[in-house]
Amino acid sequence: GAVVSQHPSWVICKSGTSVKIECRSLDFQATTMFWYRQFPKQSLMLMATSNEGSKATYEQGVEKDKFLINHASLTLSTLTVTSAHPEDSSFYICSAREGGVNTGELFFGEGSRLTVL
Amino acid sequence: ELKVEQNPLFLSMQEGKNYTIYCNYSTTSDRLYWYRQDPGKSLESLFVLLSNGAVKQEGRLMASLDTKARLSTLHITAAVHDLSATYFCAVDGGADSNYQLIWGAGTKLIIKP
């Protein structure tokens, strides 16, 4: 199947700093990528839908100035957690849809665990 | 609004036993997914079910879809310890939700030797 790669897989940072997470589709082009957040023992929570060449669509309650999403190419989307605080600590997972927006299968990155001290 | 409910949320069982996890959803959808998640890891795709009556099997896992009942099942046959994980179902929300996936809460499965 298609491969989606996330980097880094684990990051620890100090409060107030910014952290960038990359999501790459390695063997297909993805016009749409999704960013999820997962708290321990909970399901995935969609944060935003990242569209290549346009602004991301954020879910209600997600601060767009806090979680900056850039989808500059058909194979790369980035999530930047700005001025991170301990409450931003979480497991962040990206996914990309191969094929059409309503037909392609969804593939997930390995996830990035963020710990803010 | 599409809602997805999984049942049970937690399951502990012994090796060799059979069990079924249920996934109910509230409105019509064309696509249902089952994923597996190991602790600290991302999601692994298990099955994609696209039509009413679809049945797919991989090893000791079998998934089925009844679109009329808006129900999918994930059946575990003769469970083994390696199947211990959290299993999620997710339903394609369709055009109304920009084809987002709507997730169940997950079923944590522990299989004891």
Nearest residue on chain A to B50, alpha-carbon basis: A103
With CA atoms as reference, report the closest residue to A80 among A44, A45, A35, A33: A35
pLDDT at B59: 96
B99: contact with A, CB 8 A cutoff: yes
Confidence of residue B22 (pLDDT cuts 50, 70, 90): very high
Residue in B with minimal Cα distance to A34: B100
Residue in chain A closest to B10 (alpha carbons) equals A41
pLDDT at A64: 94
Element spanning A103, H or E: none
Average pLDDT of span A6-17: 89
Distance CA B19, CA B31 (A): 23
Flag whether residue A7 sits within 8 Å of chain B, measured between CB atoms.
Answer: no
B44-72 pLDDT, tens digit per residue, is 999 999 888 899 999 999 999 999 999 99
How far does B94 lie from chain A, in Å, by closest CA?
7
A2 in contact with chain B, both atoms CB, cutoff 8 A: no
B42 in contact with chain A, both atoms CB, cutoff 8 A: yes
Residue B34, chain A, CB below 8 Å: the answer is no
- The model's pLDDT over A55-103, given as tens digits with 9 standing for 90+, comes to 899 999 999 999 999 988 889 999 999 999 999 999 999 999 876 666 6
How far, CA to CA in Å, does B103 sit from each of A13, A43, B4? 30, 7, 6
Q: Residue type at A43?
A: S
